[in-house]
Structure 1
Amino acid sequence: MNSNYINAEKAIEIYTGNDLGLTYTADYSLFKVWVPTAFTVSLVLYDTGGNGTETVNYGDRDSGRIVNMQRQEGGVWQARFSGDLKGKYYMYRAVFEDGTIKEAADPYAKAVSANGIRSAIVDLRGTDPEAWVLDSSPALPHPADAVIYELHVRDFSSSEDSGMLHKGKFKAFTEFGLRDSAGHALGIDHLKELGITHVHLLPVFDFQTINELGADSGKGAEPFFTEYNWGYDPQHYNVPEGSYSTNPSDPGTRIREMKEMVQALHSKGISVIMDVVYNHTYSVEKGPFQPLVPDYFYRHDYNGRLSNGSGVGNELATERPMVRKYIKDSLAYWASEYHLDGFRFDLMGLIDSVTMRELTEELRLEINPNLLIYGEPWTGGDSPLATKTLKGVQKGKGYAVFNDNFRSAIKGDSDGWGKGFVTGEYDKEGAVASGIKGAIHEFTDSPVETVNYVTAHDNLNLWDKVLATQGLRQAAKLPELENGRLKNGGVVEAAVADADPYFTVDRQDILGDEIVRRSLLANGIILTSQGIPFLQAGDEFLRSKYGDHNSYRSPDAINAIRWENKAKFLPVFEYYKGLIALRRNHPAFRLHGRQEIERSLEFLRCDGGVVSYLLKNNAGGDVWNNIVVIFNANPGPISHKLPETDSCWNIVVDHTSAGTDAFRTVQGAEVELEGLSMMILYDKYGQPEPRSKIIEIHYERPDGDYRGWNLWIWGTGIQDGQCDFRQMENGHAVARIEVLPETASVGYILRLNDWEEKDGAADRFIDCSGSQELVKVTIRERLQENSGGKDDPLQLTS
């Protein structure tokens, strides 16, 4: 076992302050860096970014000015420099007891030079777009209301037919009013028209394998540089990626342009989710942590070797205090400085469950109560971490996980020929039904703990997967690619031009095509299931990546979204648009809790390639009295018996159209469905009772420490179990409990984490028997003067 690993495991100083990194003002700059094992640390100030793109007054050499740093408590080194340093660059130089000298960028850097060579000093307020202080997150009344759209910044605009000037850049999202020759909306206006609520951006922090100065610059280039990458190779966690900027050499430009992108999306009512990668770094020795704190940030196996649960050679030791702190600090910075609305965690299984629980709680309490947080509940390999965040760990913790069980049941395996419900495999009906119910009888406590999807950036995308399951890859002339290159050599662009992924589609009868129907059925299930739906960009007009199952470094010819497909396959786009509108306009498809689902959703059939269910009695306060949803995965038509009603059944979705308005009716007791199609019907409009009333609990603690405290509630009729405090108000924590209108009393216990401690011994109850839609309750913890113990809290109800 190596000595550095032993040292990393020994007791090490930790720092609890919130000011690591650079604190800049025009009068002075304060630098703080955590380097607990160094003998001495110096700040090195530079005039250039170190990549040859700048010139300095005294020549081409910039050796740097060394400023000694003073050691503080908690392993922190500090330097305060008077004067305005804006426009300068800096590094930290650490000397260790064995004589080793390391110079490295600031792990907490908020700005960097091109290719991340040096940390940069910027005035963040100078990077704010006009009216940035007025920018705010779009409303998200409940996580079930989200419709997520996964998108890569470069893919969005890189195609020649995108109509966007700033191809591959953040600023492409600020280009409004774009239309194709037929008048169809493109770019950000297309996203608005489609109706999605959240754009999930693949990593936009600074990553390592793109030469930000351009492929032909030869400056600052490394052998590992490529022209394209998804971005799961972190370099600087708190800085936007420079290749998405119009001027990577100016450290402030990438910050301003990312803010402009967020502001533009917010102006269209679209929230922004950032894909984050706190499970590994691209490099260890050249990464952001190893030079200054050797081995501390990385997890090791029982032999002292780097563990490799990520599959890329290392994994971060998130369970260690200063790694956990770094992740929390980083997320808080992005959420506050960039107004982000959520985070998706890559390989969340490698992040310990305590870190996930704490960051979710703290981000919502301190920054934004409506942040959407979810991730991949798996690892990329074996890991010694005992407290992995896997499916089921998220129960009651306020964040969601991807439902790969549902995904596989719908489509089959991810890259091969394996089939699922919509691609021709029987006996998948039960697994599909479980996903439709939000996995509440599988691995969730609540439907909003599951993110439902069939494809994402990884693996074959939906169109290519369906082609594969039907044995049509060869007929479509899809090339064989690996690591962005053709396996048998040749030019990728030529192979793409020769391929014909849509050879089966009759342009006069697009919705009649078998492959189209199977793909619509797949995402039709997703968009009408309980939980949070997730779509991959371009599914709405049959995007193909030409059979590339791992396009992380493939060229634009593979990855670019081809906007011409919107006009070509307009009926498909309209179908997606209609399904999204149906979901967003009808709360029956967005039920909030386990009890609400169990009361409102009843399966009618679940065999023989058919899954159907009833949403009954104005489910979720819907204006439609009863709703029938039928999925037919058989190639041919079927007849389906309908529940009895004193009215006719009105069809809003079938094989020809999807939306919110009825376009035909069914008078009899049965209805016929076309093969490979879905149907949604309602019987009549009703006058639903109010969906719920709200109990707002204000919790006051004398010590002001609300970390880990939550409510355990029962009797709501909607969602029992853990209820978190989601925001601070006047110094106390606030939680909101949704209960049925007829509820007279709700029970609760105040507890710390998972029953580590309780505030009070007995069960308590809140009287909510009145007619008020909002019941406010104040709970105060009061310390007994004599014994020092706790007495029952005072409840004030209004």
Structure 2
Amino acid sequence: MSDFKQLEHTTYPTYEGYDLGLTYTSAGSLFKVWAPTAQQVHVALYDDAGVYDQEGIVQEHGGGREFLMSRDDRGVWSIALEGDWNGHYYMYRLEWADSTVHYVVDPYATAVSANGQRTVIIDLAQTNPDGWEEDMGPTLERATDAVIYELHVRDFSMDRHFNASEKDLSAVKGRFAAFTYSGLKDGAGNSIGLDHLLELGITHVHLLPVADFHTVNDLAELETEYNWGYDPQHYNVPEGSYSSNPADPEARIRELKQLVHSLHSAGIGVILDVVYNHTYSVEKGPFEPVVPGYYYRTDEQGQLTNGSGVGNEVATERPMVRKYIKDSLRYWAKEYHIDGFRFDLMGLMDTPTVEQLTQELRAEVRPDLLIYGEPWTGGESPQPLLTLKGTQRDKGFAVFNDNYRSAIKGDSDGTGSGFATGAWNQEEQVLKGTFGAIHDFTAHPSESINYVTAHDNLNLWDKIITVRGLREYCGFPQWEQGKPKDGRKAEQAVAEADPYREVDVTDLLEDETVRKSLLANGIVLTSQGIPFIHAGDELLRSKYGDHNSYRSADAVNAIRWANKARFRPVFDYYQGLIALRRSHPAFRMDHRELVEQHMEVLHSSGRVVAFALRHHANGDAWNHIVVIYNGSDTEQTLLLPAESDRWHVVVDAHGAGNEIRYEVAGHRVTVSRWSMMVLYDQEEPAQVSSSTEQDQDTGKVENGAEGSDKKMDQEIAKGETASFRTIELIYERADRQYSGWNVWVWGTGCRDGHVELHELEDGRAVARIQVALNVQRIGYIVRLNHWDAKDIEADRYIEIDPTRSVTQVLIHSGREEYLLLVNDNRAG
């Protein structure tokens, strides 16, 4: 090795340009690779992909046309070759001081041959599908508007029922192309495939890793190998086994873009699962042969550390590693129009890197990119700035809320129960989750990914079956490394099991396991935060008790489309809950202040949780909304808020949605066992969202008290009877300093939120608040700027005198009570 190899990595020069890798034009190609410790570097060009052995590996890379590259003072080797090299293959040949030679694929490769054996020169513009220039995913006003659906590319279409009578879809099963077919139906006329996702109502599909991974041979028969993809090889290239022709370097790129375009055309965004915390191999990976010893963390003895649990961890904190990750993400977002990223074991990444990539991607690519990840590691790491729960506060990205997951369902693979699966004393933990974890580890609900199950561990149905002690009754085998321990093939074990043995499909929504599954995800879909559901939960998906199916057979993993017809009421329930959430912003508050002002706990004991979303929360058309979760095995009767004596039920044990199922008169309601209920009292058109205050941060105009005053003055000038009353809130401070002080109001029936204070000549300030004629009481807080401080911590209320058109109240700073000023302004 060269003398550079003996230096500490902190002395290596760094490079800030955006042109590492290949820059292609038809007139010439520019190659750049950062390899500061290499003695000499050539680019080797080939006419073909090389000779593959029986394992799908190209062992020999000599014989190409080799061109010596030049090194600059930043450690970058480069060369520009004239002519059109489109369709050729290349490698870098690195030589060290001891004459060791490595042939390596470009770590910045964007196209590779089958199994990633050689880098390929292509014209990326030729891979764009028709309409790509206009392609764009759905935009989000707030992160909490998203409903995320986690899905594996292959699982989506490997079921034998994924077919069409007029088309033979066998060639696209398990591949990117399966997402481009619409109009597919099952025998009963139910939509499947892409149309199923559209019908369900989710906003984003989160794809398990689609970047080129190591453990599936692209050239093998499709049915022989399976993997989730958390073993990365080439970070900027789509996985070849998901393409129609892995030997065609352009096919995988074009077909992934077609997948994205198809989902975008359906109004669904695409989130990529990315794995920057480790590589499958070190010596044969994308980094070590280029800059030995730089890309991986080591201990004091120079040994690789294992925070990932798979043998290595990438040193994300080092400048050129951090740059590589940001460059890679920027490439995916721009070239493939990706709408968000989920980070595997994000806990292993240093927090400054995650914070920087969040800020830069939002500034440079699009401001509403979804960014979230797992705030844990797979083992001990020497990195002191791990991105664990709490480190995300006010940094713009979200983390999975495993506290909430465990509170709802219990442990991940065993018989331990949670609120929805029969446990006692989980009510307070559930409430923390319903509030978007703002009283746990978040600054705002938008930082919490709420979920109960994902690809890891037992899926939801199998977890409930396990808690209930029904595994043996359902015929689940014991699994080990993707195979039944008893020696049967997976296909046979699956065929001989029945996950739904105790289910009566004629009375589906009365079944205990069904109800507990609906309650678990119903909690997720009606909580503050970002909801995340695992693909197939809406079809009661089972993996036959396999808790870690990353390399199990398709018989275990494939989504069974026949279950849609069999369990249609379950699908309808999920669809209704998602429609409810997407229609009502009260469930999607994205700032702590909104949650604190509008959410109120009604009940929290006896395996029952209830809360209210009050005063047109977040600009919702519904005035007061009550949500009740009953995790007990008996029906429960609860008191409803006293403000109303008539409530409209939209969700109960037998259905969910926006439509009124029935009405409850009075102040009591009974909730069925293992179920949830959502009710509201009044519906009025929302005047202005109470989140308008936050809209200032996104450049939207706020209409404040000045607009209200102007409207009132106009009506008075015309001699018309006002359609509202007015409260003149007169605020007095001893220091006479009113700069930045304002009033936050709710329950007005006109316009909730921010109202400006205007200074008066007598050393006081006044806020004029419009109130609907039927309103009897409003709430208010006097605050400094955007919640920098409050005059009084507690919420305060003003009772409305219905005989007066204008009510004047005097508020002294620091005092809870107010004075009602007598004036001659009686109505009528």
Secondary structure at the aligned position of 1:157 is classed as: coil
Secondary structure at the aligned position of 2:506 is classed as: coil
- Deviation larger for 583-592 or 159-168: 159-168
TM superposition shift of 1:645: 3.4
Distance 1:715 1:496, change over 3 A: farther
Counterpart mapping for 1:230-241 below 5 A:
230-241=228-239
Residue 194 (structure 2) aligns with = 188
Counterpart mapping for 1:14-25 below 5 A:
14-25=14-25
1:207 lines up with 2:213 in the alignment: yes
Residue 103 (structure 1) aligns with = 103
Counterpart mapping for 1:347-496 below 5 A:
347-496=345-494
Native 8 Å contact 2:5 2:37 kept in 1: no
Q: Give the AA of the match of 1:544.
A: S
Native 8 Å contact 1:596 1:717 kept in 2: no
TM-score (norm 1): 0.85
| Alignment match of 2:755 (pick from 742, 745, 750) | 742
1:92 lines up with 2:92 in the alignment: yes
Native 8 Å contact 2:688 2:752 kept in 1: no
Structure-2 separation of matches of 1:192 and 1:288: 38
Structure-1 separation of matches of 2:754 and 2:160: 55
TM superposition shift of 1:315: 0.3
Residue 508 (structure 1) aligns with = 506
Native 8 Å contact 1:410 1:421 kept in 2: yes
Secondary structure at the aligned position of 1:695 is classed as: helix
Native 8 Å contact 2:446 2:530 kept in 1: yes
Residue 696 (structure 2) aligns with = 695
TM superposition shift of 1:716: 9.7
Q: Give the AA of the match of 1:185.
A: S
TM superposition shift of 1:488: 2.4
TM superposition shift of 1:302: 2.1
Structure-2 separation of matches of 1:91 and 1:48: 12
Secondary structure at the aligned position of 1:516 is classed as: helix
Residue 127 (structure 1) aligns with = 127
TM superposition shift of 1:744: 5.5
Residue 669 (structure 2) aligns with = 671
Structure-2 separation of matches of 1:528 and 1:765: 30
Native 8 Å contact 1:647 1:684 kept in 2: no
TM superposition shift of 1:73: 2.8
Residue 46 (structure 2) aligns with = 46
Distance 1:714 1:427, change over 3 A: farther
Native 8 Å contact 2:222 2:241 kept in 1: no
Native 8 Å contact 2:609 2:630 kept in 1: yes
Distance 1:61 1:76, change over 3 A: closer
Native 8 Å contact 1:628 1:680 kept in 2: yes
Residue 754 (structure 1) aligns with = none
Distance 1:765 1:678, change over 3 A: closer
Structure-2 separation of matches of 1:310 and 1:551: 19
Residue 72 (structure 1) aligns with = 72
Q: Give the AA of the match of 2:403.
A: N
Residue 548 (structure 2) aligns with = 550
List per-residue Cα deviations over 1:702-732 (Å, max 9, x = no partner). Answer: xxxxxxxxxxx998969xxxxxxxxxxxxxx
Q: Give the AA of the match of 1:86.
A: N
Residue 249 (structure 1) aligns with = 247
| Alignment match of 1:499 (pick from 490, 493, 497) | 497
Structure-1 separation of matches of 2:288 and 2:482: 30
Q: Give the AA of the match of 1:666.
A: V
TM superposition shift of 1:479: 1.2
Distance 1:697 1:258, change over 3 A: closer
Secondary structure at the aligned position of 2:156 is classed as: helix
Q: Give the AA of the match of 1:564.
A: A
| Alignment match of 2:326 (pick from 324, 328, 336) | 328
Structure-2 separation of matches of 1:395 and 1:300: 29
Structure-1 separation of matches of 2:339 and 2:434: 26
Secondary structure at the aligned position of 1:365 is classed as: helix
Residue 150 (structure 1) aligns with = 150
Residue 138 (structure 2) aligns with = 138
Native 8 Å contact 2:744 2:755 kept in 1: no
List per-residue Cα deviations over 1:220-268 (Å, max 9, x = no partner). Answer: xxxxxx7000000000000000000000000001000000000000000
TM superposition shift of 1:47: 1.2
Structure-2 separation of matches of 1:321 and 1:646: 60
Native 8 Å contact 1:299 1:314 kept in 2: yes
Distance 1:216 1:557, change over 3 A: closer
Secondary structure at the aligned position of 1:162 is classed as: coil
Residue 227 (structure 2) aligns with = 229
Residue 706 (structure 1) aligns with = none
Residue 277 (structure 2) aligns with = 279
Structure-1 separation of matches of 2:643 and 2:248: 67
Structure-2 separation of matches of 1:82 and 1:688: 63
List per-residue Cα deviations over 1:186-229 (Å, max 9, x = no partner). Answer: 10100000000000000000000001012499xxxxxxxx7000
Structure-2 separation of matches of 1:39 and 1:26: 31
Residue 529 (structure 2) aligns with = 531
TM superposition shift of 1:697: 7.4
1:306 lines up with 2:286 in the alignment: no
Q: Give the AA of the match of 1:339.
A: H
Q: Give the AA of the match of 2:755.
A: E
Native 8 Å contact 1:4 1:295 kept in 2: no
Secondary structure at the aligned position of 2:505 is classed as: coil
Q: Give the AA of the match of 2:346.
A: M
Native 8 Å contact 2:604 2:610 kept in 1: yes
Native 8 Å contact 2:645 2:666 kept in 1: no
Secondary structure at the aligned position of 1:153 is classed as: coil
Structure-2 separation of matches of 1:740 and 1:391: 31
Distance 1:714 1:28, change over 3 A: farther
Native 8 Å contact 2:158 2:173 kept in 1: yes
Q: Give the AA of the match of 2:187.
A: S
TM superposition shift of 1:98: 2.0
Structure-2 separation of matches of 1:610 and 1:264: 43
TM superposition shift of 1:490: 1.7
Residue 707 (structure 2) aligns with = none
Structure-1 separation of matches of 2:402 and 2:369: 23
Counterpart mapping for 1:52-67 below 5 A:
52=52, 63-67=63-67
Secondary structure at the aligned position of 1:73 is classed as: coil
RMSD: 2.2
Native 8 Å contact 1:147 1:197 kept in 2: yes
Secondary structure at the aligned position of 2:138 is classed as: coil
- Deviation larger for 635-644 or 27-36: 635-644
Residue 602 (structure 1) aligns with = 600
Secondary structure at the aligned position of 2:486 is classed as: coil
Gaps of 5+ in 2: 54-59, 164-168, 700-739, 746-750, 759-783, 788-828
Structure-2 separation of matches of 1:145 and 1:486: 41
Structure-2 separation of matches of 1:590 and 1:124: 39
Structure-2 separation of matches of 1:715 and 1:574: 45
Structure-1 separation of matches of 2:686 and 2:136: 33
Native 8 Å contact 2:392 2:399 kept in 1: yes
Secondary structure at the aligned position of 1:74 is classed as: coil
Structure-2 separation of matches of 1:766 and 1:155: 47
List per-residue Cα deviations over 1:639-696 (Å, max 9, x = no partner). Answer: 1111113441110000110000111111122111111010111111134441143325
TM superposition shift of 1:97: 1.4
Secondary structure at the aligned position of 1:596 is classed as: helix
Q: Give the AA of the match of 2:191.
A: A
Structure-2 separation of matches of 1:661 and 1:232: 42
Structure-1 separation of matches of 2:617 and 2:785: 27
Native 8 Å contact 1:233 1:282 kept in 2: yes
Distance 1:185 1:621, change over 3 A: same
1:173 lines up with 2:156 in the alignment: no
Distance 1:438 1:194, change over 3 A: same
Structure-1 separation of matches of 2:672 and 2:41: 72
Secondary structure at the aligned position of 1:388 is classed as: coil
